[in-house]
Amino acid sequence: MIKNLKQLERNLGYKVRDNIFCLAVDTATKSGIAILFINKGKLQIHTCLMELPKLSKDSESKAEKYEEHLREFVKLVDEVIIKSLPIYNKPQSLLVLENSFLKINVVTFGFLRALQGIVYAKLCDKFGEVKIIFPITARNLVGFQSTLPKGSTPKNKKKEIMKFISNIIEEPIKDDNIADALLLALAGIKL
């Protein structure tokens, strides 16, 4: 994996911020988390997944299942993200969240917005700066250009993004949620 700022900038084709701690979260039922710590030209990248457990079938309604997921997500944010945050200089820290958008399914949109709100509420006061970025904006900021024909499946697009991010950080990415989180982080630290 890439270890220094100069190589990262060369791979991206643009300058990024030095001396920053960046946490990026791609919120979903399987959320990708990326941590970039850049200090005096040295780069550390850490990633992880935060996956909600499958809901029990004995829940009576969709509303109960929705509430159960949100409660589980709050616990996961506390256990996975907050407890694992290192001590850092708050003014030089950045939280980047994916801004969800209404595509087709209003229930999914509401769910993703709720997850984003949980992460924001739990973490916003721990960071010096917060950015909320739409996925397409993040792709544009890092210079991602799809070469797939129109009408390609979302799965193929995810694979293309995974390959793009793998080339930038010089390590294979095996999960599209991790790729999305890294993409958000790289867009967030762009100068």
User: Domain with 183 in it: what CATH number?
Assistant: 3.30.420.10
Strands 20-26 and 93-98: parallel
Render pLDDT for 125-148 as a digit per residue (tens, 0 to 9).
889 999 999 999 999 999 999 999
Render pLDDT for 76-110 as a digit per residue (tens, 0 to 9).
888 878 777 776 777 799 999 999 877 767 877 88
CA distance 179 to 184: 9
Asked if residue 74 lies in contact with residue 118, where contact means CB atoms within 8 angstroms, the answer is yes
Burial class (CB in 10 A: 0-12, 13-18, 19+), 92: middle
Quote the pLDDT of residue 106.
Answer: 82
Quote the pLDDT of residue 28.
Answer: 83
Domains identified in the chain, total number:
1
CA distance 46 to 25: 12
The parent domain of residue 150 ranges over 5-188
